[in-house]
Amino acid sequence: MEVHRELGHGFLEIVYKDALELLFYQSKVPYEREKRYDVYFKGIKLPHNFFADFVMFDKIILEVKSVSALTDEHIAQTLNYLKVSGCKLGFLVNFGRMKLEIKRLVY
């Protein structure tokens, strides 16, 4: 909320990621940015990887968007990250609207 309060809406997604990373670092919140996850099918690693925007405390996925409206595809993307990561909780945060939009997702 602090990032949205200060920057408002309308910036590119990368700006919000940079601001969030700065806050996490300053607050000593354990996180990984752009964490890569491999995808397996029948025990075989597929060539495509998923990159979660942030993984916090080794168990929470934070997916950042800056769009006019969240779609089912954004929700599915975050759920896929939860599935491949083994994490149970995810937050999909949209900075692209006047009011900060947050969806809590559980897998």
Q: How confident is the model at residue 18 (pLDDT cuts 50, 70, 90)?
A: very high
**Euclidean distance between CA atoms 95 and 1, whole angstroms:** 10
Which helix (H) or strand (E) covers residue 14, if one does?
Answer: helix 13-26
Cα Rg for the chain, rounded, in angstroms? 14
Which helix (H) or strand (E) covers residue 23, if one does?
Answer: helix 13-26
Q: What is the 3-state secondary structure (H, E, C) of 64-87?
A: EECCCCCCHHHHHHHHHHHHHHCC
Residue 99's Cβ-side half-sphere holds a number of Cα atoms within 13 Å equal to 3
CB-based contacts of 69: which residues, under 8 Å, 6+ apart? 94, 96, 97
Mean pLDDT of the chain: 96
Read off the pLDDT of residues 24-70 as tens digits, 9 standing for 90 and up: 999 999 999 999 999 999 999 999 999 999 999 999 999 999 999 99
Question: What mean pLDDT comes out for the span 19-23?
Answer: 98
Report how far apart, in Å, the C-alpha atoms of 100 and of each of 22, 48, 76, 93 are.
Answer: 19, 31, 20, 7
More confident residue, 28 or 10: 28
Domains by residue range for the chain, with CATH = 2-106 (3.90.320.10)
